[in-house]
Structure 1
Amino acid sequence: MNENIKILAAMRPFARFTRISLRDLVVTVLPVLLVTALGICAAYRFMRPAPPNTLTITTGPKGSIFQLNAEKYQKALAKKGVKLVILPSNGSLENLNRLLSPSSKVDVGFVQGGLAKGKQIDRLFSLGSVFNEPLALFYSAAKPITLVSELAGKRLAIGPEGSGTRAVAMELLKANGIDARNATLLDISGEAATWALIDGKADAAFLMGDSATPGDMRSLIWSPGVHLFNFVQAEAYSRRYPYLNQLVIPMGALDFGRNVPTSDVHLIAPTVDLVARDTLHPALSDLLIEAAREVHGRATLLQRAGEFPAPVEHEYRLSEDALRYYTSGKKFLYRYLPFWLATLVDRFLVVFVPIVVLLIPGLKLVPALYNWRVRSRIYRWYGNLIALERTLLAQHSAEEREETLKRLDEIEAEVNKMKIPLSFADQFYVLRDHIAFVRERYAKTP
C-alpha cells in the first residue's frame, strides 16, 4: 500500500497525457477558421443584396406605345413574382431625365436614340435595343409635298416638352432651316395634335410612339385630305444622324384591297433602348431582357422576327449582365429553378463556395499542423537543453555549475508539467532521457 502511494507521488510531477490537447487544437484550427471567415466576408463584400420584388419603369403618356409595351412587360414579370410599377411621362426625354435624377425612384425606362448629347450618362446602361420607333409626319395639303423644307410658314405640332417626338422634330426642322421665326410650333401631340390636324388648326403633326397612341395614327391614315409624309431623303437623314434608321412601309401593306399606301413610304426611326441605372440587380436585368424578347421578338410590319431585342450599343453602354445574357442566356440556376428559389440558392453559394474552397482543404491540414505544433513545443525544450549543456561544459567554478544545474532542474520540472497527447508519449520520454543524460554527463565532468 505504501509502495503504491510512493509511485503515485512520484508520477505527480510528470506530464499529463491526454488524447488531444484542446489548446493546441484551438491554436491550430483558429487560423483556418479565420481565413475562411475572411473569404466569406470578402464574398459578401462583392455580393449584391437580394433582388427587390418591385421595379419602376418610366414610359410615356397613357395609351402610347411606350405605355402599352410597359403593360406587357408588367404581365411577363408578374409571372416571375416581380411587380412592375408603371410611371407615365411625356416621353423619352422625360424618361431620360428621370433616370439621371438621383431623387427619382425609377429603375428602368424606354429612351429613344439621339437624346443623350450633352448629358452625363455614365451611371446608365442599356439592356439592349428593343424596337424602332418610326417618326410619322402627317400633313394636310392639296398636293403631296416631298421635302421637310416645304413646311416653312406652316403650323406644326411638334410634341410637348419632354417628349422624344419634339427632340427629333426640332432636329429635322433645324436641318431644313425651320424654327419658331418662320413657322408656328405647337406643343401638342397625340389626340390633341390629331384633332388639330383634322380640324384644320394645324398643317402638319409629328407623331411618335412615345407620346401618341396607335389609334391616333390610324385615325390620321384614314382621314380624308391627310397624308403620311414620304421621307424620300431617309437614307441621307440616317447617314447624317447615326441614331436614325430608314424603314419602309411597302405599297399596299396597310390595306391590300384599297392599295394603302399607294406606293412605298420611307420613314425614319430612332432606335429605342431599354435603359437602366447601374444599380439594377443582375437577376432583374435577366428578367427584363426575357420580357423584352417575349414582347418585341415577334415579326411586325416594320421588323423581322427575332430582330429585337438586340445587343447593339448606340449612346449607352451595354451592361455586362446584358451582354452575358445575349451571349449565353440565363444563368444555370435561373434556367431550371423558380426565380425566388434561384436567387436564394445563388446567394447561398456565395457563402458555400468559400467554405468548400478554404475550409475543407484547411481542415485536411489540421492534423499536420497540430502535430507540428506539439513537436515544436518538444523541440523548443531541446533547444534550451543543448544551450544549457554547452554552458555546463564551459563553466568551472562551483557557483556557476551549481546555478546551471538549478536551471537544468527547472527545465526538467517544466517538461514534466507539459500536456502531451498520448501519440507523442515516446518523444516525451526520449526528451526526459536526454535531460537525464545531460545531468549524468555533468556529474562525470571534473
Structure 2
Amino acid sequence: MSQALRNTLLSLRDLIVSAGPLAFVGVAVLVLAYWWLNPNPPKTVTLATGPAQSAYEEFGKRYQKALAVEGIEVKLLPSEGSSANLQLLREGKADVAFVQGGTAELMPDDHDELVSLGSLFVEPVWVFYRTDTAWRQHKVNRLDSLRQLRGWRVNVGSEGSGVPTLMERLLEANKVEPGAVKISQLEQTPATVDFLAGKLDAIVFASAPESLMVQMLLQTPGVQLLDFAQHEAYTRRFPFLTPVTLPRGVVDLATNVPARDVRLVAPTTSLLAREGTHPALLTLFAQNAQKLHSGAGWFNRAREFPNTRGSELPIAKEGDRAMNEPVPMLQRYLPFWLANLIERMWLVLGILLAIMLPLSRIVPPLYQFRVRSRVFRWYGRLREIEIDMEKGMAPPAELIKALDALEAQAEKVTVPLSYADELYALRNHIHLVRKKLLRT
C-alpha cells in the first residue's frame, strides 16, 4: 500500500471516529422517528363494496386500479350493501367502505371510531314497476306515489343493503301501514329475475346510475320508473335525501329514454374509514376520489362531488385537504411514497437539523485533537528523557539509546499533510535534546 493511500485511509478513519458518535445519534433519532410516525402506508387495504354488478363493486374496481399504481393492493370485500359495510367497519373487517346516508342508524361510538372522506355521489331510490300491474291495479301506466304500491309484491333489497330501512321510513311517511305492501328482501340478481318473470310487481334499488341492473331496467320494455312527484317535500322531511331529476333522454337520446323527466329522491353515499387507518391511505383514497367522482353525471354537474356537505360523521383532515386545498407541491414532482415520507418527517428533520448543526461544530476540534494526539503523546517521553539528563539519573549512553528508540517511533507516525508540521516539530525537538545531551 502506498504511503499516500495509507495517509488518506488514516485520515478517513480519524474523521469517521470523530464524527461517528454524532452521526450515530442522528441516525438513531431518525430511526426512532420513523418507527413512531410510521410514514409509509401498509401495502394492502380492504375496501368493502357491495353486491355483484352493483355501482359499489364498479367503483371498488376503479379504486383498486388507481391505488395499484402507487403499489397499494386494494382487497375488495363484497357485501350485501351499505348497512353491511358499516358493520364491517365497526368490526374491523374493512378499512374503508361505501356507506349510504340514511340507510343505517349510527351508534354513538361511530363518531369516535369512524371518519368520512367526503360525499362521493348521489344514489337515487329507483322504484321500478311493471306497467301491466299498474294498469291492472290503477288503470294508469304511470305511478307518482308510494301509496299506489298498496297490495303489491315489492322487493326492497337484502337487509344488509340498508334499502329496507330506508323504504320503511318512506312508506311510514306516506302512511302506508305495515303489511299493506307485500315486502320481500331478495338480493338484486334473483329479485330482478323474479321481477322480469312477473313474480314481483315492483323492485327497489338505491344505487348510482352506473349499476348494471339500473341501466338494464331503464331500457326494458314493460318496465316503468316511479316518479316521486313530491321529491322536494321528501328532502324537507329527510335531511339525508336530495331532490334529483332524471332528464328526458339521458339514458338513450336516440330512443328518448326516459320519455319524460322523472323526479327522484337520492341519499348521498360517502366513503367512510376507520379512525386508525393509515393517514397516507386516507390521502390516496381522498385524492383518487377527486379523480373518479368529480366528473359530470346524470344527476350532477362537473366538480360538484366529492364534497363535505351533509356528512353524518366527522370529515377526516386528509379528505378535507384533498377536497379544499391544491395538491401538495412535493406530490406534483415526486412519487407519492417519497413525497409522503418527506411531508410526514419534515418536522423531525427540521428539529434534527437544528440540533445537529450546533453539535457538528465539535467534530473539527475532535478530529484535530485525535490527529495531533498521535504526535503529542511522544512529547511526554521526550520530556522524561530530558529530565533524566538534567538530574543525571541515567548514564548518557542509556539516554542516547532512549532517544534513538523515540526517534524510530516518531518516524513511524503518520499524519495528514496538513498536520505534518507537528510531526516535523517533534523530530526537531528530539534532535535538540540529543545535541544538549552530547554537549554534556
Matched, 1:307 2:297: no
AA in 2 matched with 1:291: N
The answer for the alignment partner of 1:94 in structure 2 is 84
Decide which moves more: 343-352 or 272-281.
343-352
The answer for the alignment partner of 1:401 in structure 2 is none
Structure 1 position 50, deviation (Å): 2.6
Matched, 1:52 2:52: no
Distance 1:131 1:252, change over 3 A: same
The match for 2:159 among 158, 161, 169 is 161
Distance 1:115 1:45, change over 3 A: farther
Matched, 1:148 2:138: no
Structure 1 position 112, deviation (Å): 0.7
Rounded to whole Å, the distance in 2 between the matches of 1:330 and 1:361 is 35
AA in 2 matched with 1:64: S
Structure 1 position 69, deviation (Å): 0.6
The answer for the alignment partner of 1:358 in structure 2 is 355
Identity %: 37
The match for 2:61 among 45, 67, 71 is 71
The answer for the alignment partner of 1:373 in structure 2 is none
The match for 2:194 among 185, 193, 196 is 196
Please give the residue correspondences for 1:422-437 in structure 2 after superposition, counting only pairs within 5 Å.
none
The match for 2:118 among 118, 121, 128 is 128
Matched, 1:285 2:282: yes
The match for 1:114 among 97, 102, 111 is 102
Distance 1:83 1:41, change over 3 A: closer
Rounded to whole Å, the distance in 2 between the matches of 1:314 and 1:344 is 30
Instruction: Say how many residue pairs are matched.
Output: 337
- 1:190-226 superposed Cα distances (whole Å, 9 cap, x missing partner): 222222222221111111228x973322332233332
1:270 counterpart SS class: strand
CA contact (8 A) 1:58 1:109 kept: yes
- 1:146-166 superposed Cα distances (whole Å, 9 cap, x missing partner): 211121221110100110322
Rounded to whole Å, the distance in 2 between the matches of 1:312 and 1:233 is 23
RMSD: 3.1
Distance 1:186 1:336, change over 3 A: same
AA in 2 matched with 1:163: S
- 1:138-182 superposed Cα distances (whole Å, 9 cap, x missing partner): 112111222111212211101001103222222212222335422
1:126 counterpart SS class: strand
TM-score where L is the length of structure 2: 0.69
Unaligned runs of 5+ in 1: 1-25, 368-446
The match for 1:252 among 244, 249, 254 is 249
The answer for the alignment partner of 1:335 in structure 2 is 332
Rounded to whole Å, the distance in 1 between the matches of 2:43 and 2:102 is 32
The match for 1:262 among 246, 259, 262 is 259
Decide which moves more: 257-266 or 147-156.
257-266
Rounded to whole Å, the distance in 1 between the matches of 2:121 and 2:303 is 11
CA contact (8 A) 1:159 1:187 kept: yes
Rounded to whole Å, the distance in 2 between the matches of 1:364 and 1:316 is 52
AA in 2 matched with 1:108: V
2:220 counterpart SS class: coil
The match for 1:219 among 209, 216, 219 is 216
Which of 1 and 2 has higher RCO (CA within 8 Å, sep 6+)? 1
CA contact (8 A) 1:125 1:319 kept: yes
Matched, 1:80 2:70: yes
CA contact (8 A) 1:286 1:330 kept: no
Rounded to whole Å, the distance in 1 between the matches of 2:210 and 2:248 is 23
1:325 counterpart SS class: helix
Rounded to whole Å, the distance in 2 between the matches of 1:358 and 1:312 is 44
1:307 counterpart SS class: coil
Distance 1:354 1:116, change over 3 A: farther
Structure 1 position 331, deviation (Å): 3.2
CA contact (8 A) 2:122 2:266 kept: yes
Rounded to whole Å, the distance in 2 between the matches of 1:224 and 1:335 is 50
CA contact (8 A) 1:61 1:67 kept: yes
The answer for the alignment partner of 2:270 in structure 1 is 273
Matched, 1:235 2:232: yes
Rounded to whole Å, the distance in 1 between the matches of 2:304 and 2:207 is 19
Rounded to whole Å, the distance in 2 between the matches of 1:293 and 1:320 is 15
CA contact (8 A) 2:39 2:340 kept: no
CA contact (8 A) 2:96 2:274 kept: yes
Structure 1 position 362, deviation (Å): 5.6
The answer for the alignment partner of 2:313 in structure 1 is 316
Distance 1:39 1:312, change over 3 A: farther
CA contact (8 A) 1:137 1:206 kept: yes
CA contact (8 A) 1:189 1:205 kept: no
1:162 counterpart SS class: helix
AA in 2 matched with 1:196: D
2:269 counterpart SS class: strand
Rounded to whole Å, the distance in 1 between the matches of 2:277 and 2:310 is 18
Structure 1 position 244, deviation (Å): 0.5
Rounded to whole Å, the distance in 2 between the matches of 1:208 and 1:137 is 9
The answer for the alignment partner of 1:399 in structure 2 is none
CA contact (8 A) 1:312 1:318 kept: no
